[in-house]
Amino acid sequence: MTVAPEDRAALLVEALPYIRQFQDAVVIVKYGGNALAGTGVSGAEGVGGAGEPAAAGGMDGPGAERAALASFAQDVVLLGSVGLRPVVVHGGGPQIGDLLGRLGMETEFRNGQRVTDAATLDVVRMVLVGKVNRDIVSAVNVHGPLAVGLSGEDANLITATAHTADLGYVGTVAHVDATIVERLLSERLIPVLATIGADAAGQAYNINADTVAGAVAEALGAEKLIFLTDVQGLRADPADETSLMHRVSAVELEGMVASGAAAGGMVPKAEACIRAVRNGVHRAHILDGRVPHALLLELFTDAGVGTMVLP
């Protein structure tokens, strides 16, 4: 579709007040494993490395995966170029499941969480830190020396504790020391964070990426916490695509979780949004990452494309 020059100019003018409003604002973007894998498995994404099930089909192929990642990287670089300070937090559940399968290692899920023994944890660290993190960093750095890959283990960024004993090395966030992230942001660099944390003894844990994104947003006092997922956003009726809710309060969102209107992989996102907007984060957003440039459309246009969560 060809866009007339005057329409392109109108879009730029529409974006201008938002660009000015968000100058130097910290924006946390949670980029999920299914978004990275180019899947269309509705509702599966969103429980981070600790809980994302492996995608059961719907793969568009490596070409589509590379194109989706390149488009996301462009958006993140543009945010930084117009004065925002983006931080990327990523999961990688489908990629973890794929490698476990190729290694002949069985995966067990309990209440949506991947049971993580010592051998599984090794695979999780390899995939999140050594593969997914590097792919995102490389995609961003095509545009210049901008992105720096991190794990929650670096500089004691994320102190973790065991979630429950029966899940093994699945962790929960005990504390976020955002000093290293703040230093990178002060240099106008783009931190890319893999969601592995460690306890005081140095034991690593795999942590839900949605939870990490929310905790990091709180620690940084972020302007925005944005989840890129594989559904439009929050719907008043989960089965009705026309019932997208563009704005919802934290109280309303709590009610949706309690009633089951927000369920499955949407629950940790909803809980992270609720907690974040009640603890200093100005706004939270849930967007369909399959929509080209959804991040820019949500931040820099009047209509937006997803759901915005208010305190």
Question: What pLDDT is attached to residue 148?
Answer: 98
Token pair in block for residue 138: 């490389």
Give a yes or no: residue 127 inside a domain.
Answer: yes
Question: Which amino acid does the sequence have at 201?
Answer: A
In which band, very low, low, confident or very high, does the pLDDT at 60 lie, cut at 50, 70 and 90?
low
Give a yes or no: residue 17 inside a domain.
Answer: no
Residue 69: pLDDT over 60 = yes
Q: What CATH number should be reported for the domain holding residue 231?
A: 3.40.1160.10
Give a yes or no: residue 230 inside a domain.
Answer: yes
What's the total number of domains in the chain? 1
In which band, very low, low, confident or very high, does the pLDDT at 1 lie, cut at 50, 70 and 90?
low
Question: What pLDDT is attached to residue 7?
Answer: 81
* 3-state SS assignment for residue 185: helix
Mean pLDDT of 101-117: 89
CA angle 13, 3, 292 (to 5 degrees): 80
Phi, psi of 147 (to 5 degrees): -95, 145
Residue 193: pLDDT over 90 = yes
Residue 12: pLDDT over 60 = yes
Residues 6+ apart with CB under 8 A from 3: none
Asked if 120 and 104 touch (Cβ cutoff 8 Å), the reply is: no
Higher-confidence residue of 10 and 141: namely: 141
Residue 158: pLDDT over 90 = yes
Question: What pLDDT is attached to residue 34?
Answer: 59
Give a yes or no: residue 186 inside a domain.
Answer: yes
Going by the DSSP 8-state scheme, the letter that residue 32 receives in this structure is -
Question: What pLDDT is attached to residue 63?
Answer: 77
Tens digits of residue pLDDT in 194-250: 999 999 999 999 999 999 999 999 999 999 999 998 888 898 888 888 889 999 999
In which band, very low, low, confident or very high, does the pLDDT at 184 lie, cut at 50, 70 and 90?
very high
Question: What pLDDT is attached to residue 82?
Answer: 97
Give a yes or no: residue 12 inside a domain.
Answer: no
Neighbours of 189 (CB within 10 A): 18
Give a yes or no: residue 225 inside a domain.
Answer: yes
Mean pLDDT of 267-294: 94
Asked if 136 and 147 touch (Cβ cutoff 8 Å), the reply is: yes
Across all residues in the chain, what is the average pLDDT?
89
Tens digits of residue pLDDT in 17-57: 999 999 999 999 999 765 555 433 333 333 334 544 433 33
- Which structural domain range is residue 228 located in? 24-52+64-310
Q: Give percent above pLDDT 70 in the chain.
A: 90
CA angle 81, 88, 168 (to 5 degrees): 170
Q: Give percent above pLDDT 90 in the chain.
A: 70
Mean pLDDT of 158-173: 95
Judged on CB neighbours under 10 Å (0-12, 13-18, 19+), 240 is: exposed
pTM of the model: 0.90
Higher-confidence residue of 299 and 112: namely: 299
Give a yes or no: residue 14 inside a domain.
Answer: no
Residue 6: pLDDT over 70 = yes
Distance (Å, whole) CA 295 – CA 286: 10
Question: What pLDDT is attached to residue 53?
Answer: 40
Q: Sort strands 109-110 and 85-90 into parallel, antiparallel or unpaired.
A: unpaired
Going by the DSSP 8-state scheme, the letter that residue 155 receives in this structure is G
Give a yes or no: residue 187 inside a domain.
Answer: yes
Neighbours of 81 (CB within 10 A): 12
Tens digits of residue pLDDT in 131-157: 999 999 999 999 999 999 999 999 999
Question: What pLDDT is attached to residue 33?
Answer: 60
Question: What pLDDT is attached to residue 71?
Answer: 93
